[in-house]
């Protein structure tokens, strides 16, 4: 995307001075200023609510499995897989539509918010898991993607030198939402049941996200973009061209980064899913303490995302990925693998959240690297494809984890956490995390 610089101005559409010349309107500054920070704050809250709710599905899955109308169904897990996976996988399509019709980004954001709220309302009327898959799974995910995508696409309008930091702050919203919303939803489900809980959250979601649409806006107003100021906005408004996505099959740099990104994603989601059940396996009997492991992981990822976002603007991307990889791998093998009590498990949740949770904050560096080597590549499409790759990893991790735990291998045969029945899962998570940092090695041998 080509943007106007801070020093440029845009002409007012309606001249008001007697000489007939158009007075100039200064553009909001990039990387600073109240408009940029309001935009970033809106993106942070949107991220926290849209993705935070998707991360509550473990709570819903436990609850649905206790209800007579759902407990005999084998498809309950598909609901959460659809919600999370589709929000990753459909981004290339959503981004293409928004880039083809940029004037509709704000309207699309509003329609996405309405779709999310409506889907939750319809979910409250469900009587079968098929209804839940369609409403809470598919429609919520599509609405979330439509509402969330303008935050990504417009980020480069507002942030340049501090873009990595801005992305890190926005992605920290997922950790905050993932820490708070599961507690809120568990309380609502226990007290009021899923029908009232979903309707109530739909109302809250609308009240909190609808005002954000006002702040999720381009730096140059759409009405002025159509005038083609200095030829800049004409370039933004044109339809995407094939050469902008040819990096998908021609860029070895992108393909290597994407490969490592997908491998890391296969293992990344497993601890947040299985930490509560692992806590039970080592003798923790309090449900609140079991849930605290996931809360600590999500809170730590808030810090990790912001810090990694700040350093990705200054360091080489493979160095940043190495930091994330080393921290998460050590955490898995040396802390989780030897955790047989709650204290070390809490330490692992924090360490893993800090390092593994920051992996996506390296994406701005990957985007920058791919665009630098393939000048025709469009950075937002690089992001969309990285997200889709992570979605593939998310979907694959579900059945893989079930296969890894079948029969509880190594239970009683090995010591410490490796002998709890979760040993194969621990090793798999550590190995995928280690391979996810392969770009650092590839850089050193000259392939990047």
Say yes or no: 392 and 423 in one domain: yes
Say yes or no: 273 and 187 in one domain: no
Q: How far apart are alpha carbons 247 and 372 in whole angstroms?
A: 12
Which pLDDT belongs to residue 232? 42
Mark which of 216, 239, 262 sits at the end of a domain.
239
Say yes or no: 211 and 338 in one domain: no
Say yes or no: 248 and 101 in one domain: no
Cα 203 to the chain's mean position, in Å? 23
Which pLDDT belongs to residue 346? 96
CATH of the domain at 233: 1.20.1250.20
Q: How far apart are alpha carbons 83 and 53 in whole angstroms?
A: 10
Q: How far apart are alpha carbons 436 and 176 in whole angstroms?
A: 24
Contact 382, 370 (CB under 8 A): yes
DSSP H or E segment with residue 11:
strand 9-11
> Do the domain assignments include residue 10?
no
DSSP H or E segment with residue 62:
helix 57-64
Say yes or no: 195 and 280 in one domain: no
> Do the domain assignments include residue 8?
no
Say yes or no: 257 and 207 in one domain: no
Structural domain including 74 reads: 27-239
Say yes or no: 129 and 246 in one domain: no
Q: What does the radius of gyration of the chain's CA atoms come to, in whole angstroms?
A: 23
> Do the domain assignments include residue 73?
yes
Contact 159, 101 (CB under 8 A): no
Task: Tell me the sheet residues that pair with 26.
Answer: 9
Q: How far apart are alpha carbons 160 and 181 in whole angstroms?
A: 32
Mark which of 181, 213, 239 sits at the end of a domain.
239
> Do the domain assignments include residue 17?
no
Q: How far apart are alpha carbons 117 and 148 in whole angstroms?
A: 14
Retrieve residue 112's tokens: 């996405």
Mark which of 204, 239, 274 sits at the end of a domain.
239
Contact 291, 416 (CB under 8 A): no
Write down the H helix ranges in 154-162. Answer: 155-158
| Burial class of residue 82, CB neighbours in 10 A (0-12, 13-18, 19+) | buried
| Burial class of residue 130, CB neighbours in 10 A (0-12, 13-18, 19+) | middle
Which pLDDT belongs to residue 231? 41
Say yes or no: 270 and 363 in one domain: yes
Please state, in angstroms and as integers, the Cα–Cα distance from residue 150 to each residue in 99, 101, 172, 276, following that order.
10, 12, 17, 35
Retrieve residue 33's tokens: 């200023």
Say yes or no: 306 and 427 in one domain: yes
> Do the domain assignments include residue 89?
yes
Which pLDDT belongs to residue 296? 93
> Do the domain assignments include residue 153?
yes
Strands (E), 267-340: none
Q: How far apart are alpha carbons 175 and 433 in whole angstroms?
A: 19
Q: Who contacts 448 (Cβ-Cβ below 8 Å, separation ≥6)? A: 253, 256, 318, 369, 439, 442
Which pLDDT belongs to residue 412? 80
Split into its structural domains, the chain has a count of 2
Say yes or no: 212 and 292 in one domain: no
Say yes or no: 62 and 92 in one domain: yes
> Do the domain assignments include residue 19?
no
Say yes or no: 260 and 234 in one domain: no
> Do the domain assignments include residue 42?
yes
Q: How far apart are alpha carbons 346 and 396 in whole angstroms?
A: 27
Which pLDDT belongs to residue 374? 85
- The closest alpha carbon to 216, from 151, 156, 171, belongs to 151
Q: How far apart are alpha carbons 136 and 84 in whole angstroms?
A: 11
Which pLDDT belongs to residue 227? 47
Mean pLDDT per 10-residue interval, the chain, length 448 residues: 46 46 67 92 96 86 84 79 90 92 92 97 93 94 96 92 93 93 90 95 96 91 56 48 82 95 94 87 83 90 94 95 98 96 95 96 94 87 94 87 85 86 94 97 91
């Amino acid at each position: 995307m080509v943007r106007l610089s801070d020093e440029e101005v845009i002409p007012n559409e309606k001249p008001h001075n007697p000489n007939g010349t158009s007075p100039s309107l200064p553009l909001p500054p990039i990387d600073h200023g109240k408009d940029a920070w309001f935009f970033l704050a809106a993106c942070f809250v949107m991220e926290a609510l849209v993705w935070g709710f998707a991360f509550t599905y473990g709570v819903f899955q436990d609850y649905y499995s206790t209800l007579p109308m759902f407990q005999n169904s084998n498809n309950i897990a598909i609901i959460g897989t659809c919600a999370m996976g589709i929000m990753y996988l459909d981004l290339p399509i959503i981004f293409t539509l928004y880039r083809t019709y940029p004037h509709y980004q704000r309207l699309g954001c509003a329609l996405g918010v309405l779709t999310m709220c409506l889907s939750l309302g319809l979910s409250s009327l469900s009587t079968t898991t098929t209804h839940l898959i369609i409403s809470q799974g598919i429609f919520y995910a599509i609405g979330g993607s439509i509402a969330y995508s303008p935050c990504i696409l417009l980020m480069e309008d507002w942030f340049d030198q501090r873009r990595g930091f801005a992305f890190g702050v926005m992605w920290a919203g997922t950790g905050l939402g993932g820490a708070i919303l599961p507690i809120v939803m568990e309380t609502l489900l226990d007290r009021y049941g899923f029908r009232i809980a979903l309707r109530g959250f739909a109302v809250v979601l609308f009240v909190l996200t609808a005002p954000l649409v006002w702040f999720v806006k381009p730096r140059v107003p759409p009405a002025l973009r159509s005038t083609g100021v200095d030829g800049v906005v004409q370039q933004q408004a044109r339809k995407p061209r094939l050469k902008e996505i040819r990096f998908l099959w021609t860029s070895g740099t992108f393909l290597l980064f994407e490969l490592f990104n997908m491998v890391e994603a296969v293992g990344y989601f497993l601890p947040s899913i299985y930490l509560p059940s692992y806590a039970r396996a080592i003798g923790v009997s309090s449900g609140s303490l079991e849930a605290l492991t996931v809360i600590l992981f999500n809170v730590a990822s808030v810090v990790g995302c912001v810090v990694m976002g700040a350093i990705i603007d200054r360091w080489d991307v493979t160095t940043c990925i190495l930091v994330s990889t080393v921290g998460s791998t050590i955490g898995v093998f040396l802390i989780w693998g030897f955790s047989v009590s709650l204290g070390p498990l809490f330490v692992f949740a924090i360490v893993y959240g800090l390092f593994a949770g920051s992996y996506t904050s390296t994406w701005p560096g990957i985007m920058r690297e791919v665009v630098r080597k393939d000048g025709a590549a469009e950075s937002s499409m690089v992001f969309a494809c990285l997200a889709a790759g992570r979605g593939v990893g998310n979907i694959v991790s579900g059945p893989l984890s079930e296969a890894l735990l079948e029969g509880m291998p190594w239970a009683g045969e090995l010591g410490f956490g490796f002998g709890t029945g979760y040993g194969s899962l621990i090793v798999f998570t550590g190995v995928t995390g280690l391979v996810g940092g392969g770009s650092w090695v590839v850089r050193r041998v000259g392939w990047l």
